[in-house]
A and B are shown apart, each in its own frame.
Chain A
């Protein structure tokens, strides 16, 4: 699953550390999400979407595997 987290975070001018603090996750989790190495739980995906006032599917892009 791809995501636009890094792009959206930078648009909002927020650092990884600060986003991690607000979402109560580690900074490494934010880094892994941005790199696409880790897919978040539904709860975390909603927390992120709610924080940026966006829909989940605007941040996380699900592509069906071929």
Chain B
């Protein structure tokens, strides 16, 4: 859900400050930091402008906002969304395992294989954690 208008005004100001401060950093050794500041600043400015525009649109079209909210909270849509996410997660886990096998075949460095297998294991740990959590809740 979208946050308050003041939040986006604040992120816009931070973005402008970061963007402008990047021009104060001169010298070869500060070039990387300056680049990072431009990137983050531009990102924040863009995000804030879009969200402020959305806020303005919401204020002018409360009917449409209500409709969108109903669509979002609709129990069938929620169920569809969760099922799609679960299915995507199932597919991704085997996709990650496939990448791990591929890395073994192409004789990739061990750390890349371990990270990939780690991702697969992490998926199952998170899965078990939430299954346990929901078992207690429901």
Taking beta carbons and an 8 Å cutoff, which residues of A are in contact with B?
Answer: 20-21, 24-26, 28-29, 32, 38, 40-41, 43-44
- Specify the main secondary structure of chain B where it touches its partner: helix
The digit string for B56-78, where 1 denotes a CB below 8 A from any CB of A, is 00000000000000110111110
Find chain B residues with CB under 8 A from A29 CB: 74-77
Find chain B residues with CB under 8 A from A43 CB: 75
Interface size on B, residues (CB 8 A): 7
Taking beta carbons and an 8 Å cutoff, which residues of B are in contact with A?
Answer: 70-71, 73-77
> What are 12 contact pairs spanning A and B, CB under 8 A?
A21-B70, A25-B74, A25-B75, A25-B76, A26-B76, A26-B77, A28-B74, A29-B74, A29-B75, A32-B76, A40-B75, A43-B75
Find chain A residues with CB under 8 A from B76 CB: 25-26, 28-29, 32, 38
Find chain A residues with CB under 8 A from B71 CB: 26
Find chain B residues with CB under 8 A from A38 CB: 76
Known A28-B76, A28-B77; 20 more pairs at CB < 8 Å: A20-B70, A21-B70, A24-B70, A24-B73, A25-B74, A25-B76, A26-B71, A26-B74, A26-B76, A28-B74, A29-B74, A29-B75, A29-B76, A29-B77, A32-B76, A38-B76, A40-B75, A41-B75, A43-B75, A44-B75
